[in-house]
Structure 1
């Protein structure tokens, strides 16, 4: 297994990893209750998100001879939230999400806007998304995707931040020094709340 920068050419492969790894992720399950619609909606959104990160962020991919095993979409200080022009380039993907799951598209957009409003005002490294393909989970892939950026953040004395809708992820990220600072980011009334976690800057 090798850890490499995720290049734009691998955005489609990254999207496939996220679609597989997040098929039962609580936030997406609440946004898109129908599993088939969820899969159709997730793929274009995650491909576009990975492509944006590859162009403007510091994403990492775990790869082997068979392809991409896992992806961490890290955004450096000032690289998130997206600028207006970057959001505009996401529009075709968002339209595909709407076509795939029209009944729940409005909910999806409102959740995204709420999560953006909860983003810290201070500069930080942001783990926008991380996913490991189910066939490669529990092999230390996630650790390999997280630790390089944490070392850089420590060198630069920068905090880190992430959001998760899965309470089971809290203990995992606490192992890396993250702590819950936003226990319930309310997005829309009928969607499971997200959790914001912060890792303090090294001193």
Structure 2
């Protein structure tokens, strides 16, 4: 139907997935989901130019990210039975970037990443430095967000974001994220994010990092209706 000249799409049914906190036993599977989902992003195609290696390299990066996130942040997942279908990793205010002690705890994983990424390591370090510089100290930082490619555009990302917004709005907190995919800028804008400051290039001539911020909720109805976080079986 339409109202005021705007066509309203019927609300699609929710996927049958559950939403909850990541179990460490599913961490490797979740890292694989993020690697597959984010491998096409311009930032990663620039940093990991060898397509045949990119997803494997990213899997190593996200194994480390999720290990730290389980200790010092929150990792939300959608699951369909025993399969992880979507992942959203976030850090609370003041917990990102990682402290020297946390980096030291990840030393063995860093060595594994360096062995896999080889000549791409310096670019990854620069990317990390740019990200660390932009994250506000008072915001929840969405460090990684992705849905398994064969299950995208079916509502799983929205389920994860609603769970995120429920968490944020209960605390009156704002959030921050970055994307190198220009298509995602509109996606996040529809969900209450605005560009926080001008985009920054990953490297001279490289893709742009778009920083985006969502303010703390102040009135009901400004944000997507949050859904409950159901425990993952």
TM-score, L = length of structure 1: 0.93
How many angstroms does 1:28 deviate by? 0.7
Contact 2:43 2:202 in 1 (8 A): no
Which of structures 1 and 2 has the bigger CA Rg? Answer: 2
Q: Who is 2:190 aligned against?
A: 175
Residue 194 of structure 1: which of 197, 202, 209 is its match?
Answer: 209
Output the CA distance in 2 between the equivalents of 1:192 and 1:93.
27
Q: Root-mean-square deviation (CA), in Å?
A: 1.5
Output the CA distance in 1 between the equivalents of 2:166 and 2:56.
36
Q: Unaligned 5+ residue runs, structure 2? A: 1-16, 219-233
Counterpart check, 1:46 vs 2:51: no
Higher fraction of helix: 1
Q: Unaligned 5+ residue runs, structure 1? A: none
CA-to-partner distance for each residue in 1:139-185, whole Å, 9 max, x for gaps? 10011111122122222211110011101101111121000112312
What is the total number of aligned residue pairs between the two structures?
202
1:36-75 matches, within 5 Å, as 36-75=52-91
Contact 1:180 1:197 in 2 (8 A): yes
Residue 37 of structure 2: which of 18, 21, 26 is its match?
Answer: 21
Residue 177 of structure 2: which of 162, 165, 171 is its match?
Answer: 162
Contact 1:2 1:64 in 2 (8 A): yes
Q: Who is 1:3 aligned against?
A: 19
